[in-house]
Amino acid sequence: MFRDPASLPDPFPQTLRPLAWARPSGSLSLLRPERGLEPLLSGTEFVLSAPYRVAFRQIGEVGTREIVVPEGFVTDLASVPRLLRPWVGQIGLHLEAAVVHDYLYVQRWREGGDRVARRAFADRMMLAMMAHADYGLRWPVYFALRLLGGLAMGAKPLETILDPIPQAIRQT
């Protein structure tokens, strides 16, 4: 059964400011099902088998905020064009940042939000998380996201990306 993205809490702050920092506040738990998922892009889709939490703080704020990527979210890890994979793989120090970035890109299409500002926030979140992980290629990845990131998500139907873990997968 499809989980309506609007039924999830909006992960974006009311006011989108530059980030002071962002870091995981829990463990990332992924499942690669043998069956039950239709390939979205690369044929290597994974499902979050537990919610994934990320703490962050925006510049000018005192308190910490949290984004929770829900159990059942489908991701292809880092969406790296095949031509660039010898330098930037789908896994590495940027993996957690890529999963959160995918989730924020999906959620930016929610009603009532500025999609351009939300995309910029998602890209800055990935940069901040890559900085926390000390990923050496964070700036080239960030600039590639700013230049081409919007093209990758435009073709994916929302209902194929955010879906509960299919019952067939849970039973394996």
- pLDDT tens for 96-117 read 998 999 888 888 776 667 888 8
- What pLDDT is stored for residue 149 in this prediction? 74
Q: Which residues pair with 162 in a beta bridge?
A: 73
- Residue 1 clears pLDDT 50, i.e. is over it: no
Sign of CA dihedral 76, 1, 70, 29: negative
pLDDT category of residue 65 using cuts at 50, 70 and 90: very high
Average pLDDT of the chain, as a whole number: 77
The Cα–Cα gap between 41 and 36 comes to 15
**CB contact at 8 A, 166 and 47:** no
The Cα–Cα gap between 25 and 172 comes to 29
User: Rounded mean pLDDT of 47-74?
Assistant: 90
Count other Cβ atoms within 10 Å, centred on residue 88. Answer: 16
Q: What share of residues in the chain are helix, strand, coil (percent, to 5)?
A: 35, 15, 50
